[in-house]
Amino acid sequence: MPYRKQDAKAYARENFRGVWAATATPFKEDLSLNEEGLRRNLRHWIDDLELGGLFVSGKQGEFFSMSVAERKRTFELAVEEAGARCGVVTSCSDTNLDVVLELARHSQNIGAPYIVVHSPVLHFHRNPEETVYEYYRYLSEQLDIGIALWNHPDCGYIMSPELCARIAELPNIVAIKYSVDRPLYKRLTELAGDKILVSTASEEEWLDNIIELGWQLYLCSTPPFLLQTAADRRINDYTRLAFAGQHDEARRVRNSLEPARQAFRAARPDGTPQAVTKYWLEMLGQVGGPVRRPLLNLSDADKAKAREAFAHSGLKLA
């Protein structure tokens, strides 16, 4: 790790910034991990797209269908390829705390700068706040690495801004991917924006959050490599403009991406987000491949629909 535990917040404030994308994990046709394909994608995201960082093997990366050994290997590949050119946050989320700690310690050992840990799965809890606080307090106690929280309604409960602010007092809690409605993440920014970097998954809200809330981090999903190419890096462009205070020009560039956003939404049938992501990657010239069970691959009709939508995206391929 490039910092001491007590310096985690300061290091993150200086370095955990810009556009960070959630990586997809390519598999071969026999469903084994496609290491060379992942390296190829990583190099494109790092060198051609110049992303600020990569969120490795989260939900978009199908962590739930990978073994612990495979997850560790994706972390290693990302850290090797990123070097000093790109940030890395490894997704150590799991229903088993021992697995979370094993992945987190591996991340520390290989030099990853941050980890992200999803809020715990809690069945039958009507008021989980003390349980969730103790979960993250224990992780903070056990680990030296900077920890990003992750919470969204799909997990069955929403962490309140007040709970997040309390957790943010812990020494190596540095960020949160807070996929909630704007009033909640705005409240957390007001309560603890000096102690934790707040982000949400929505690319469409990113610019307004830079301008209105002073955010520095977009810890997001897949738009940074699905809606950008080596010849068309408009998310990067409007982010840079916004950071420089050129807000009107940033809005113009942001708004120009609306055809691409609409095209990707049109390509996405219910129940197949990772499969659509991988097929879209292939149409962009990157490595996709099949998804693993329990996910479903696209039908021929789904692929035809995606190709039609892609043709109207307006993305520049060269």
Q: What does pTM read for this prediction?
A: 0.96
pLDDT of residue 318: 74
Confidence of residue 139 (pLDDT cuts 50, 70, 90): very high
Computed over every residue of the chain, the mean pLDDT equals 96
pLDDT of residue 126: 74
- Residue 199 sits in a domain of what CATH number? 3.20.20.70
> What average pLDDT score do residues 294-301 get?
96
Does any domain span residue 77? yes
Whether pLDDT at 269 is above 90? no
Does any domain span residue 302? no
Does any domain span residue 221? yes
Confidence of residue 221 (pLDDT cuts 50, 70, 90): confident
Does any domain span residue 214? yes
CA dist 115 and 309 (Å) reads 35
Does any domain span residue 97? yes
Does any domain span residue 269? no
pLDDT of residue 111: 97
> What average pLDDT score do residues 203-218 get?
98
> What average pLDDT score do residues 125-150 get?
95
Confidence of residue 162 (pLDDT cuts 50, 70, 90): very high
List pLDDT tens digits, range 103-123.
999 999 999 999 999 999 998
> What average pLDDT score do residues 298-317 get?
96
Confidence of residue 124 (pLDDT cuts 50, 70, 90): confident
CA dist 262 and 313 (Å) reads 8
Q: How many domains does the chain have?
A: 1
| Residue 244 exposed, middle or buried by CB count within 10 Å (0-12, 13-18, 19+) | exposed
pLDDT of residue 20: 98
Domain range for residue 30?
Answer: 5-248
Confidence of residue 163 (pLDDT cuts 50, 70, 90): very high
Over pLDDT 90: what percentage of the chain? 93
Whether pLDDT at 59 is above 90? yes
pLDDT of residue 245: 98
Does any domain span residue 192? yes
Does any domain span residue 195? yes
> What average pLDDT score do residues 88-109 get?
98
List C-alpha distances in Å: 115 to 4, 123, 270.
15, 24, 30
Q: Are strands 173-178 and 146-151 parallel, antiparallel or unpaired?
A: parallel
